[in-house]
Structure 1
Amino acid sequence: MMTNEDVHEVARRSDRTVAIAEGPEPRRGHLQLGEPAGATDRIEVTSRWLERAGTPWFPITGEIHFSRIARERWSEVLGHAAAGGLTSVATYVFWQAHEPEPGVFVWEGNRDLRAFVELAAAHGLDVIVRMGPWGHGEARLGGFPDWLVERGLATRTNDPEYLKLARSLYAQIIQQIAGLTHAEGGPVIGAQMDNELYDQPEHLAMLRTIAEELGLRVPIWTATGWGGAQVPETLLPLYSAYSDGFWEDTATEWPAFAPFHFRYSEVRDDLSVGADLREALDGIVLDPDAVPLKDDSALPFATCELGGGMHVAYHRRPLVTPHDVANLALAKVGSGSIWQGYYMYAGGTQRVGAHGTEQESHATGYPNDVPTRTYDFGAPIGEFAQIRPHHHLLRRQHLWLAEDGAAVASMQTTVGGGSDDPDELRWSVRANVQRGYLFLTTYQPAKRPLADQAGVQVAIEFPDTTVEVPSRPMDIPAGVSMVWPLRLPLAGGQTLRSATAEVVTRIGLDDGRDLLVLSAAPGVPVEFVFDGQVEVAGSVSTEQRDATTVAVLAAKPGLDTIVDVPGTRILVLDDATANALYKLDVFGRERLVVSDAPLYSFDGDLVLHSEASEADVLLLPGVDALTARSALAASVVTGGSAWQQWHLAIEGAGTHRLVGGVALEAPRPPAIVSGGPMDRLSAPTDFSGAAHLPVDLPATAGDADRVLLRIDWTGDVGRAVVDDEVVSDHFWHGPVWDIDVTGVLGETIDLQLLPWREATGVWVDPTVRDVPEGIAVKSVDMVRVARVVLSGPDSATTGSR
């Protein structure tokens, strides 16, 4: 006899069915976007997706601010971005950096927009220029020069005097990228007009008109669409999604919209992002019930600010984890995104100008005090090109989209389960009538985690067959997000009807077969279902069932876990190995690379950056010989493995402890002060009573490419001073504090530290909140980062990379 719980479970499972029908044809020609028919490599914007050269296209963009990164690090950062699977980079042009005085424009050093765009192209990346005039980006006055604000104009409107100055700025930007637009064979595919402008659609439209009058021709014109923004028809609205926000109040444990970003939903907008600025600077308070959160069918679902991490303010200091970033990003693909854009993808350092540091602050009328120098943002690539775990987690998604993104972009999205009920299975399907993908998630941040799901099975009804996946109900552990293939075509004419493992990438083998790389999620058994009777070899148990062949993996996933079917070898990787996998054009051909140190390809070589004195690089297919600069390379033969392993002994890399286990006392901590238009806690500016920890730096970097000082500490605010100049600062919130000291070697760096005091009322994440008051320096390490160039037998390594 069935119990009430049994009946409830049967009802729940009956809801896990979706019927796939032919989707509507995309509307074309209704938007003032894209390029004319016949254009080379034509980019078109349809109502459902973007197209390039007549094929649906799934771009992946990361925000990288050239003027906040040392020019000599541009190539390294762009190289890692390309290796991470980005197809393009977006960058703000901060007006204050380029016209510090009226009529005096500066495009030199790390303000050289043209050089940055050309270097991005050299790394195979397109560029979207965020032209302002107002940019925000936690910059002083939103990036406006002080002299502009002092004139008292009606900025960000069609005031003639303001437009005259904006036209001058635009003319300069357009001159910088002349010859580099997509129509001219260059990398610039898009331009953003202003930023976070909510109630001036006629001004946004005018900015595009001005840019076109000045000669700019790009296929994609955008504006930020979140916060209920009124975007004119001439611009494509792009959306955001953050898992937390420094702009919230100290009483906010988790922003109201944040949980929704970990579910599948057709809602594109987020009313919480930038709400403090709308209220404090523009006087706009939105009624959530009056804002259409779901766009009509005229526009594709595109993003430009998926949180690649999160900045911190003095009053509120979120701690966004790598898995938060990756799971949110995948949820957006499962919700129908056809353009993944990350903010930030690489951190940087706030500039110093004539008026001091150029960060937003209470002193310039902003609701938040942010650090004066660091703009690390907890990004996949850190302020000093440190490679973070979410760079690897996101790369797995990007490898999949590079392999199958054209199909995914054109697939319809059906959200099966996506409510805020933590007991409901969250699932979505992106599919066409031939094939698709099933998305499942049990992930939500630690503030509000989800439980596991028992007996999961979803039925996808294609017009000619129903695919049940898994083939029998399966338990899904908590804390995972997965996307499983449905009816994936394989070489040799086979069809992978379903699999409980993720597609990572595919590569051609020398014997004419394909190598399909899949990744297994921790705690999830791997099952393959093939259409028809298929010969399956490898460590699997097989059975014939309902005109299909079901194979269950019996071996642990790993580098050599292979399942063979006619025409295709299926490599099933474990989670950790999948995170170390790259697909790169290197040593004359496309290869799979597994490395325990971050790397990228450039001019056919591998460029590796390592903090450790040893590293292993595995290649498939292998090479006859390798030449290593700044390292000794020795081939290691792995018995029976298809992978060729190279062990590197790296000169100059390593970590050396300078200070350990020190408790300090600040003799006169500053008073607790509030300020700004929302009366939030203000960052201390008086360090006269701070604790001092002087650290003597080595005279040279030796064989290292750069030297970082890494401080593991607890306290409130720290700043690093060399010769009376603040070179770095840090609002403590859990992560270590890194400082690039390569340029100040031989000096003494004075760490000025203020104590953690619960009475201050600063909000930090619950996972790090329980720390004693005062200042505790657990360690200060000197980290030497080495740069190694690996060249193959036919490489000609010349010049700088």
Structure 2
Amino acid sequence: MSGSKYLFLLAFLISYKITMGQQNYELQLPKDQEDLITGHLDLGDKNPNGDSISVNSQYIKFNDQPFFPVIGEFHYSRYPEKYWEESILKMKSGGINVIGSYVFWNNHERKEGVFDWSENLNLKKFIQLCKEHDMYVIVRLGPFCHGEMRNGGLPDWLYGKPFEVRSNNIQYLDHVNRLYGEISDQLSGMLYKDGGPVIGVQLENEFQHSAAPWEITYPGAKKERTVSARDAGVTHEQIAVTDGHNPYAEEGEQHMEILKNIAKKNGLEVPLYTATGWGNAAIVEKGSIPVTAGYVYPFWSDPHPSPFYLFKDIRQHPDYMPVSYDTKLYPSIAAEIGPGIQVKFSRRPFVHYESVEPLMVRTVGSGSNGIGYYMYHGGSTPVFESKFYNEDVSGMPKINYDFQAPIGQYGQLRPQYHTQKLLHMFLESYGNELAPMQTVLPLSNEKITPQDTKTLRFAARSKGDQGFLFMINFQDHMDFSTLHDLQVKIKTSNEEISFPSSGTFDLLKASTCILPFNVQFGDANFKSATVQPLTKLDEAGGQKHFVFYSIEGLAPEIVLSGKSKIKKLNRGQSNSFKGDTRITGRQGEIFSFEIGKNTYTIIPKELALQSYKIKDRLFFTNGLLLDGQENISIVSREEDNDLHIYPSIDQPVSISGASLKGRKSISQGFSTYTVQFEKVNPEIDIKKLNNMTWMATLSDNWEGLNDVFLHINYTGDRGMAFIDGLLVTDHFYNGRLWEIGLKSFKEKLNNENMIFKFHPIYKDYPYLGDLPEQDKEKVNSVGTYFEIGEMKVIPEYKANIQF
């Protein structure tokens, strides 16, 4: 065989192998859009500045422009008042634009007729801080809240009253009227109509769907639920899929309307009234937004592959269907997506941090026009008069309400804080364009099940021929791996757009992406791109910066419609492609180009995860950045921190609390510095008192530190921490180490030690199946197991940067 024939045959075989191994997917965009319904909902209002909020059948509008709320749940009563501001800033840095918070009735009216709004219960102060930092608020009024709080937030003294709670009994409603009146006093001047940040209130919680157990009970007794006798048969203890049959639906709707009228009578008039809409719960028909939920690792049911990683039309087919309302009349707004979950004695679910980004990308790609996290920020359930307010009868921790949340019990950041920030930045810049776009599903979506981990999970949101392609590769409670040699083609009204433009890509395990097609970014029309939009920045003089990030497994490329006049192409390559202009860059590198007055910069995802958008600039650091308005704070557990600023700055930068040194820029258009903290070593003395009890004595060498975290690496059933004989926090083991932030206890620790009591795991404990395999093997081999490893302290530094 001649050399040329051999090469031809080899090329043919390689091409044949690639074609046979390639997975091709297609999606046809629809010609028509669903009709938008307006003016049918009793929602919306204006503030004194003339700004307006309104709601149509598909999305919320702010000043007649689509608005995409990103809601993070944070319970003010579960966190120290003196650290509220720092936590609000952490949420803002994470891309949250609305804070949701329960008002737990039993925290505030522990004794009938006596309300307490002091210290950690100071709702007025909390809302004022939100206003100072431009954060909207949705106040969850109750009267019933749940939230794993004692009686679901209902005061104990209601149990002994001659009426049923959560009913239309006039005496019960009189108490609700007084509660709403007290809340209204706290929110005076803070409502949107008065120029305040409170844009909405939630009425009740899961009415005619869920209840909490009364804590006034006895060991071994069947649980009594916080619900009227009429609704007992349609009410569950937690979120569930129901049969949709509710003989008391009319009464339920009436009760919700009564609550709304009581709220308005007390001056609680806001643009948005919300009601939990999942599982056939009652709402205010055409008078509230029925918000949705999604928990992948629930503590109330057995683990199984969840359907929440399958794309769908989530507005027409909400999760936890059936529902009590006409889905065509309302936008899909998620209020309770679980980026973590609580643990309890009998169940120890372990939420994989990598599970959250795919869950939220799926939810947005499926058509949600608002997302909300429960919880976004963990905390500690309060203790009043030596009485625990946790849901004890269900086996919840006495104090710990960490929830494995993006921001933990003591304000510590988890990996999902950073991955979700990327999605939030995208929504902040492009949510107004995304909201009118409707979900388009491929034909392959009809047959896919949670157990199918080999088929690509994807959908698009489009309007006309433009939109965004959403893809994920994740499934809970299943083994899955990288999907190789993929190609997706989107068929518009007049062309076929391929991702990538030629060849294939890999979608790595647990990876996600949101890719634009026919989207106008400033002066350039992106026909397609394998890089994800991150944010856009405005500079003086009309200069705009569009920032994207590349994703491992997808070679970064941008196809611009037609022949584009590109200038200052940095580190990338440009070529003509089928009459269009294709720009490519190297994986893991920064590259950029300019068109007109616009700069387009592509960064690796690893760098994007370190990004913070402050004052129309991007800051990148391995620490945390907080925008305190007067200055920017950097918080970090590392002594050495990179700090990159884009676009670059030409003004002096100073710092207090650390040293700042300029160095060579990581790329054109960036300013680069090193922030270095002086090392502090808080000392800890650990003494074993007996097999299950330890004593920790900490030095007071905390000067200049923002916090000190104690890491306890143990394997056991649970741990409890005491100061001066009082329980200050606890921990139910689920495979992760125990982390305690000590600044909340600093004053007490100056005079007292911290005592730790631990308990072993027994092989007959019901949660054993939730633990890592190595832990199960240890317990089963000996019948009972406890082991304690290293205890160490981790300093957290803080400095202020001024420009």
What is the TM-score with the length of structure 2 in the denominator? 0.86
Helix, strand or coil: the match of 2:721? strand
CA contact (8 A) 1:96 1:144 kept: yes
**Which one of the candidate residues 662, 677, 697 is aligned to 1:650?**
677
1:633 maps to amino acid: L
1:750 maps to amino acid: I
Instruction: State which drifts further: 161-170 or 35-44.
Output: 35-44
Which residue of structure 2 lines up, in the alignment, with residue 706 of structure 1? 707
Find out whether 1:749 has 2:754 as its counterpart: yes
Helix, strand or coil: the match of 1:166? helix
Work out the CA distance in 1 between the residues paired with 2:614 and 2:188: 30
Work out the CA distance in 2 between the residues paired with 1:386 and 1:44: 36
Aligned length: 728
Which residue of structure 2 lines up, in the alignment, with residue 485 of structure 1? 516
Work out the CA distance in 2 between the residues paired with 1:113 and 1:192: 16
Pair 1:781–1:11, CA change in 2 (3 A): closer
Find out whether 1:319 has 2:366 as its counterpart: no
**Which one of the candidate residues 652, 656, 660 is aligned to 1:625?**
652
Pair 1:292–1:110, CA change in 2 (3 A): closer
Work out the CA distance in 1 between the residues paired with 2:642 and 2:262: 53
Which residue of structure 2 lines up, in the alignment, with residue 202 of structure 1? 254
Find out whether 1:499 has 2:503 as its counterpart: no
Work out the CA distance in 1 between the residues paired with 2:64 and 2:26: 35
CA positional deviation for 1:561: 2.6
Work out the CA distance in 2 between the residues paired with 1:81 and 1:124: 12
CA positional deviation for 1:260: 1.2
Task: Name structure 2 gaps, 5 residues minimum.
Answer: 1-11, 209-248, 780-784
1:184-208: CA deviation from partner (whole Å, max 9, x where unpaired): 1110000001111126222122111
Pair 1:14–1:160, CA change in 2 (3 A): same
Helix, strand or coil: the match of 1:67? helix
CA positional deviation for 1:456: 2.6
**Which one of the candidate residues 578, 585, 597 is aligned to 1:546?**
578
CA contact (8 A) 2:293 2:319 kept: no
1:745 maps to amino acid: L
CA positional deviation for 1:786: 2.5
Pair 1:539–1:53, CA change in 2 (3 A): same
Find out whether 1:46 has 2:56 as its counterpart: yes
Helix, strand or coil: the match of 1:155? coil
Instruction: State which drifts further: 527-536 or 343-352.
Output: 527-536
Which residue of structure 2 lines up, in the alignment, with residue 721 of structure 1? 722
**Which one of the candidate residues 62, 74, 82 is aligned to 1:64?**
74
Helix, strand or coil: the match of 1:772? helix
Work out the CA distance in 2 between the residues paired with 1:436 and 1:271: 22
CA contact (8 A) 1:20 1:460 kept: no
**Which one of the candidate residues 259, 264, 269 is aligned to 2:311?**
264
Work out the CA distance in 2 between the residues paired with 1:705 and 1:381: 16
1:701-726: CA deviation from partner (whole Å, max 9, x where unpaired): 22223222221211111101111101
CA contact (8 A) 1:413 1:430 kept: yes
Pair 1:38–1:693, CA change in 2 (3 A): closer
Find out whether 1:410 has 2:440 as its counterpart: no
Work out the CA distance in 2 between the residues paired with 1:474 and 1:443: 20
CA contact (8 A) 1:130 1:194 kept: yes
Mapping for residues 611-690 of structure 1, pairs under 5 Å? 611-620=637-646, 621-638=648-665, 641-651=668-678, 666=691
CA positional deviation for 1:498: 0.7
Work out the CA distance in 1 between the residues paired with 2:685 and 2:605: 35
Which residue of structure 1 lines up, in the alignment, with residue 212 of structure 2? none
Work out the CA distance in 2 between the residues paired with 1:505 and 1:85: 11
Pair 1:298–1:439, CA change in 2 (3 A): same
Helix, strand or coil: the match of 2:403? coil
CA positional deviation for 1:385: 0.9
Which residue of structure 2 lines up, in the alignment, with residue 694 of structure 1? 695
CA contact (8 A) 1:268 1:295 kept: no
CA positional deviation for 1:404: 0.6
Mapping for residues 209-608 of structure 1, pairs under 5 Å? 209-233=261-285, 234-248=287-301, 252-254=302-304, 259-267=306-314, 291-292=322-323, 296-354=327-385, 356-362=387-393, 368-416=394-442, 417-418=444-445, 419-420=448-449, 421-445=452-476, 447-479=477-509, 480-491=511-522, 493-509=523-539, 513-536=543-566, 537-553=569-585, 555-558=586-589, 560-585=590-615, 590-608=616-634
CA contact (8 A) 1:264 1:426 kept: yes
Pair 1:435–1:665, CA change in 2 (3 A): farther
1:454-496: CA deviation from partner (whole Å, max 9, x where unpaired): 44333333334432222224132332111101112133x3211
CA positional deviation for 1:771: 5.8
Pair 1:451–1:602, CA change in 2 (3 A): same
CA RMSD after TM alignment: 2.8
Work out the CA distance in 2 between the residues paired with 1:511 and 1:271: 45
Work out the CA distance in 1 between the residues paired with 2:742 and 2:455: 50
Helix, strand or coil: the match of 1:410? coil
CA positional deviation for 1:580: 0.3
Which residue of structure 1 lines up, in the alignment, with residue 39 of structure 2? 29
Work out the CA distance in 1 between the residues paired with 2:324 and 2:479: 25
Work out the CA distance in 1 between the residues paired with 2:786 and 2:52: 58
Pair 1:708–1:47, CA change in 2 (3 A): same
CA positional deviation for 1:24: 3.0
Pair 1:405–1:653, CA change in 2 (3 A): farther
Find out whether 1:775 has 2:779 as its counterpart: no
1:359 maps to amino acid: N
CA positional deviation for 1:544: 2.3
Work out the CA distance in 1 between the residues paired with 2:559 and 2:316: 38
Work out the CA distance in 1 between the residues paired with 2:761 and 2:124: 44
Work out the CA distance in 1 between the residues paired with 2:256 and 2:772: 41
Which residue of structure 2 lines up, in the alignment, with residue 759 of structure 1? 764
Work out the CA distance in 2 between the residues paired with 1:611 and 1:425: 39
Helix, strand or coil: the match of 1:570? strand
Instruction: State which drifts further: 694-703 or 75-84.
Output: 694-703
1:731-790: CA deviation from partner (whole Å, max 9, x where unpaired): 001222122333232321111011122232324244664463422222111222222211
Instruction: State which drifts further: 159-168 or 15-24.
Output: 15-24
Helix, strand or coil: the match of 1:164? helix
Pair 1:153–1:93, CA change in 2 (3 A): same
Work out the CA distance in 1 between the residues paired with 2:787 and 2:317: 39
Which residue of structure 2 lines up, in the alignment, with residue 122 of structure 1? 132
Work out the CA distance in 2 between the residues paired with 1:408 and 1:32: 24
CA contact (8 A) 1:246 1:318 kept: yes
Task: Name structure 1 gaps, 5 residues minimum.
Answer: 274-287, 363-367, 667-690, 793-801
**Which one of the candidate residues 99, 108, 111 is aligned to 1:98?**
108
Work out the CA distance in 2 between the residues paired with 1:350 and 1:477: 41
Pair 1:191–1:580, CA change in 2 (3 A): same
1:785 maps to amino acid: E
1:184 maps to amino acid: D
CA contact (8 A) 2:731 2:738 kept: yes
1:632 maps to amino acid: S
CA contact (8 A) 1:127 1:187 kept: yes
CA positional deviation for 1:369: 0.7
2:578 maps to amino acid: D
CA positional deviation for 1:665: 7.6
1:213-255: CA deviation from partner (whole Å, max 9, x where unpaired): 112110110111112213230221100111211122xxx233x
CA positional deviation for 1:634: 2.4
1:160-182: CA deviation from partner (whole Å, max 9, x where unpaired): 11101010000000111011111
Pair 1:94–1:269, CA change in 2 (3 A): farther
Pair 1:532–1:771, CA change in 2 (3 A): same
Helix, strand or coil: the match of 2:502? strand
